[in-house]
Amino acid sequence: MAFLDPGDPVELSSATRAGFRARYGADAALVARAPGRVNLIGEHTDYNAGLCLPVALPHATYAAVARRADDRVRVASLEADDTWEGTIAGAGPGGATGWAAYAAGVLWAMREAGHDVPGVDVLVHGTVPLGAGLSSSAALECSVAVAVAALTGRELDLETRRALVPLCMRAESEVAGAPTGGMDQTVALLAEPGTALLLDFGDDSNRAVPLGLEDAELTLLVTDTRVSHALHDGGYGDRRAECEAAAAALGVASLREAELSAVEALDDDLLRRRARHIVTENDRVAATVTALGEGDWNAVGRLLLASHVSMRDDFEISCDELDTVVTTAVEAGALGSRMTGGGFGGSAVSLVPLARLDAVMRAVDTAFVAAGFRPPAHLQVDPAARAELVP
Give pLDDT tens digits for 64-89.
Answer: 999 999 999 999 999 988 899 999 99
Q: Residue 278's pLDDT is what?
A: 98
Q: In the Cβ-directed half-sphere of 45, how many Cα atoms lie within 13 Å? A: 34
Partners of 120 in beta bridges: 67, 73
Judged by average pLDDT, the poorest of 93-102, 225-234, 249-258, 304-313 is: 225-234
Tell me what the mean pLDDT of segment 104-111 comes to: 96
Spans of all domains in the chain: 9-209, 218-381
Q: Per CATH, which fold does 218-381 belong to? A: Alpha-Beta Plaits (3.30.70)
Active site residues: 184
Task: Select the more confidently predicted residue: 269 or 228.
Answer: 269
Q: What is the pLDDT of residue 231?
A: 52
CATH code assigned to 9-209: 3.30.230.10
Q: Tens of pLDDT along 192-233?
A: 999 999 999 999 999 999 999 999 999 999 999 999 765 545
Q: Which positions ≥6 away from 255 have C-beta within 8 Å?
A: 48, 49, 50, 243, 246, 247, 275, 278, 279
Q: Listing from the earlier edge strand, what are the strands of the sheet with 388-389?
A: 80-87, 72-77, 120-126, 54-67, 30-39, 388-389
Query: DSSP string of 132-159?
Result: SSS-HHHHHHHHHHHHHHHHTT---SHH
Strand order in the sheet with 377-381: 336-340, 347-353, 218-224, 377-381
pLDDT tens-digit readout, 300-358: 999 999 999 999 999 999 999 999 999 999 999 999 999 998 888 999 999 999 999 99
3-state SS class at 13 = helix
CA distances from 373 to 132, 172, 234, 364, 366 (A): 15, 31, 24, 11, 10
Measured distance CA(379)–CA(111) in Å, rounded: 36
